[in-house]
Amino acid sequence: MSASTETTPRQTPANGAALRTPVDWKFPIVYSALALVTLLLFGLFGGAAGKSTTFSFAAGTDLFGIPPVTVSSMPTAIAIGIVLVAMAAIATWLAAKREKIGIWFPVVFGVLFLSAFLTWAGADTGRIPITPLLAGALALSVPLIFGAMCGLVGERSGIINIAIEGQLLAGAFLAAVVASAVKNPYAGLVAAPFAGALVAVVLTFFAIRYWVDQIIIGVVLNVLVVGLTNFLFSTVLTQNPEMWNARQQLPVIPIPLLGDIPVLGPVLFRQSILVYLMYVVVAVLYIALFHSKWGLRTRAIGEHPKAADTVGIPVNRNRVINTLIAGGIAGLGGAFFTVGSGLAFGKEMSAGQGFIALAAMILGKWNPIGAVFAALLFGFARNLGNTLSTMGTPVPSDLLLMLPYIVTIFAVAGFVGKVRAPAANGKAYAKQ
């Protein structure tokens, strides 16, 4: 016998010519708009005529120095603008031919756009310090990355976790309290995962034992954690701050050699153990998710729990375990707010970062590496906003800070490729 039906493509339709996929004009439009903004707002009418912008890279500890680069603001922005217009034209031409463009294209476009923007924004003050800009971005990304990893492990297993915000906050709280009580920041670091996991216990208890909608539990848990930490802050912590809420900071541990590389060194390798832990978590998660037995099973219970059940994989037990691990990861991320940054605990200090972590996870398409880049993008936008507003540039920082959220909305609305969540996400599993 033959298996002639094997992967036979559907036959071309009788009246096939009329059926070609419609041209996707979304990206050409976005590219063109950004190119025009660059050329006109940052270049021709940017009001930066005759001014110059200096990009500095030094950090003092480098093996060798990179000299600052000074460019003439307006011509540079115009030049980049022209390149971007050309790129937009290429994108339009390719789109009309229904050809796909590699990932390098948006990356190059983005970097150029950003350069033009910085050139324009720095024209008034004259100086853009690149290293602190990147270092700050990484710092702001740390809780986002931990949070996104937490969301990702949960959702890959089929549990929606809106409570990342609460887990970060709980982690920050417990880390601060334990570190302060033991007078050792590392103790706080050890304690933080338990706080995140505790929130996860409640989440899984209601989601798996009682089939309560996971979004509802998540939303309510956030309120619960805010209420609890605020209450304890106002009673216990403020009564005796020396005992319960004294500042403790994880020391910076520079990695020999790597830490001395210009720009990259201070940004990536002169960090506390928490940041190094983050690198490990991301790498391990990526490998585990796509190349391990655990990962295969995790993805199976998130996509098609019944299929997993029929091959003897205990769906709900795995979901509980994974959600608890995820909670621990988020708790670690929370520790960054307190012991990671050398701050005492403050009311609601996670300030919505858990929701951005959720956004980073989605923008990264539920892939650890993608989520890291999305989180870095968000962290960078936020840090850029802060930096520019303290520098006194004309850019309204509040509007800049909206960017990550707007980008995420565009992403879920399907403007940034296909975003597909795990199929069984948020659905309680019961044998029937």
Cβ atoms within 10 Å, residue 75 = 14
For residues 20 and 256, which CB has a smaller minimum distance to another protein in the complex? 20
Interface positions, 172-231, toward another protein (CB under 8 A):
202, 206, 209-213, 215-217, 219-224, 226-228, 230-231
Q: Judged by CB, which is closer to another protein: 1, or 280?
A: 1
**Angle formed by the axes of helices 214-232 and 185-204, to 10°?**
140
Contact pick of 130, 173, 270, 297 for another protein (by CB under 8 A): 297
Site string for another protein, 326-355 (x = CB under 8 A): --------------------------x--x
Residue 427 to residues 31, 167, 231, 412, Cα–Cα distance (Å)? 38, 21, 33, 20
Within positions 254 to 293, which residues make up the interface with another protein, using CB under 8 A? Answer: 287, 291-293
CA angle 88, 95, 38 (to 5 degrees): 15
Site for another protein in 355-384 (CB under 8 A): 355-356, 358-359, 362
CA proximity to 163, closest of 219, 228, 230, 229: 219
Distance of closest approach, residue 166 Cβ to another protein, in angstroms: 10
Of 28-36, 104-112, 191-199, 310-318, the window that binds another protein (rule: CB under 8 A) is: 310-318
Which of 152, 300, 332, 371 lies at the binding interface for another protein (CB under 8 A)? 300
CA distances from 172 to 192, 254, 345, 374 (A): 7, 24, 7, 23
Identify each DSSP E strand in 293-414 by its residue range: none
Task: Tell me the per-residue interface mask from 1 to 30 with another protein, x by CB under 8 A, - otherwise.
Answer: xxx-xxxx-xx-xxx--xx-x---------
CA 112/CA 89 separation, integer angstroms: 15
Q: Which DSSP letter does residue 416 get? A: S
Residues 6+ apart with CB under 8 A from 2: none
Contact letters (x/-) for another protein, 392-421, by CB under 8 A?
----x-xx-xx--xx-xx--xxx------x
CB 369 within 8 Å of CB 320? no
Q: Are 257 and 305 in contact (CB under 8 A)?
A: no
Please count the residues of this chain forming the interface with another protein, following the rule CB under 8 A: 88
Q: Counting contacts by CB under 8 A, is residue 306 touching another protein?
A: yes
> Rounded to a whole number, what is the distance in angstroms from the first to the last CA of the chain?
38
Q: What's the min distance (Å) between Cβ of 294 and another protein?
A: 7
Residue from the set 307, 317, 342, 394 that interacts with another protein by CB under 8 A = 307
Choose which of 57, 279, 294, 373 interacts with another protein (CB under 8 A). Answer: 294
The residue among 142 and 162 lying less far from another protein, judged by its C-beta, is 162
CB closer to another protein, 156 vs 270:
156
Based on the number of CB atoms within 10 Å of its own CB, is 313 exposed (0-12), middle (13-18) or buried (19 or more)? middle
CB of 249 to another protein, least distance (A): 27
